[in-house]
């Protein structure tokens, strides 16, 4: 096989995805009008698949902070912190994140993906054991694989499956790493962190929780699912991203372990990646202030999530197991999901199409991510659009 021959399979995937009229991976947002509305193919389109949970991408204070940072610090850092030094704002944001999670130590990465990669490849070595939820994000899988550690998968959110693997590890269970997410981004279900934390304590393991999709959404202060379930003091490492509720781009790891400060000497994604631009750091800093100071954003978000989840279920759609800002509708085969997603876009509703192997099982899903910025009218329009297309699934069945 020639070096480029492998791309024939990718070409086949692209052609299959384009059969319904649009390739879901190639949608162009011609204009962004607000956190919840854009122009796609000349049509006003409700954005219902952006992960913009708190709607802060157009927040005046966040925009002003970014603009001021560009004017005072320039457009970029032009290098990694190891090579070019750290801007004071980067260090300040690390401390603010550590304080937000009530731990002592923090690191900021240029992307959420780099945060997971950079944390895991520094924490784990060949011969170490890591227990990973089967539905964990690709960045968590990649970080574990790149570390060379021995990976033991446990069934998604299955505490019994996790304990069986801990038992089989024997003495290796002590100091092994358990990796889970807070809120899972396809089905919108939360990890049973109370039970997982109890097993962590029982076997002497360490626990890393990815709060990427739950930061700003769960907990009295918006710290995530661990806060909502009351186990923050039992989590050893929190990782997350700025690209969801905080409306920017970047990632972080915070921990009560002082060894986190030494990760920057071992983490290749941190060492060799240019640090985030001043504008991103500034807007993220301001967005974190909004998370802490405006609990009404979470209240509005949850009201919208409740209504969308309820509306889909009233129409007879099969949704995820619990209400969350991620609302997924199970559509079965890819052949049914593609035209459904295309017709939604034609009706002015942008969503996320999840098909195997990207979906957690062999089924296809349409995923919506709710925002605090969605108006009640927009939520009803989304529900109405789904309802008007239900006949496509009945015809397929």
**Residues 327 and 308 sit within 8 Å (Cβ to Cβ):** yes
102-134: b (≥16 Cβ within 10 Å) or e: ebebbbbbbbbbbbbbbbbbbbbeeebbbbbbe
Task: Name the DSSP class of 114.
Answer: H
**Residues 205 and 152 sit within 8 Å (Cβ to Cβ):** no
Give the whole-angstrom CA distance, residue 330 versus residue 318: 5
Helices 138-147 & 112-123 angle (0-180, nearest 10): 30
Give the whole-angstrom CA distance, residue 199 versus residue 229: 15
**Is the preceding omega at residue 357 within 30 degrees of 0, hence cis?**
yes
Closest CA to 353 of 148, 186, 132: 186
Count of other CB atoms within 10 angstroms of residue 325: 29
Cα–Cα distance list, 325 to 193, 291, 305 (Å): 19, 16, 5
Distance from CA of residue 358 to its chain's centroid? 14
The residues assigned a catalytic role are: 185, 213, 244
């Amino acid at each position: 096989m020639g070096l480029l021959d492998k791309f024939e399979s990718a070409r086949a995937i692209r052609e299959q995805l384009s059969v319904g009229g649009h390739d879901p991976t190639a949608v162009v947002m011609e204009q962004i009008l607000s956190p919840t509305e854009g122009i796609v193919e000349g049509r006003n389109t409700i954005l219902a698949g952006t992960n913009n949970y708190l709607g802060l991408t157009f927040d005046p204070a966040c925009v002003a902070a970014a603009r001021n940072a560009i004017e005072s610090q320039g457009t970029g850092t032009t290098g990694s912190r190891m090579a070019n030094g750290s801007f004071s704002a980067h260090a300040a944001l690390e401390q603010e994140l550590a304080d937000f999670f009530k731990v002592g130590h923090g690191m900021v990465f240029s992307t959420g993906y780099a945060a997971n990669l950079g944390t895991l490849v520094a924490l784990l070595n060949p011969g170490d054991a890591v227990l990973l939820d089967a539905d964990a994000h690709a960045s968590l899988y990649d970080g574990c694989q790149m570390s060379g550690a021995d990976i033991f998968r446990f069934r998604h959110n299955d505490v019994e499956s996790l304990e069986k693997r801990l038992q089989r590890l024997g003495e290796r269970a002590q100091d092994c790493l358990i990796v889970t997410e807070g809120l899972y981004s396809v089905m919108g279900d939360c990890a049973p962190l109370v039970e997982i934390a109890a097993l962590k304590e029982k076997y002497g393991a360490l626990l890393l929780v990815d709060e990427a999709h739950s930061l700003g959404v769960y907990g009295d202060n918006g710290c995530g699912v661990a806060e909502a379930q009351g186990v923050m003091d039992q989590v050893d490492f929190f990782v997350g991203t700025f690209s969801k509720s905080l409306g920017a781009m970047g990632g972080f790891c915070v921990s009560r372990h002082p060894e986190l400060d030494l990760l920057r000497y071992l983490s290749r994604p941190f060492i060799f990646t240019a640090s985030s631009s001043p504008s991103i750091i500034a807007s993220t800093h301001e967005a974190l202030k909004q998370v802490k100071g405006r609990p009404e954003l979470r209240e509005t978000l949850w009201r919208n999530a409740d209504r969308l989840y309820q509306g889909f279920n009233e129409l007879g759609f099969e949704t995820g197991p619990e209400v969350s800002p991620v609302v997924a509708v199970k559509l079965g085969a890819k052949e049914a999901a593609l035209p459904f997603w295309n017709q939604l876009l034609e009706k002015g509703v942008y969503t996320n199409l999840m098909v195997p192997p990207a979906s957690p099982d062999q089924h296809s899903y349409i995923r919506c991510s709710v925002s605090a910025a969605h108006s009640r009218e927009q939520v009803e329009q989304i529900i109405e659009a789904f309802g008007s297309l239900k006949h496509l699934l009945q015809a397929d069945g």
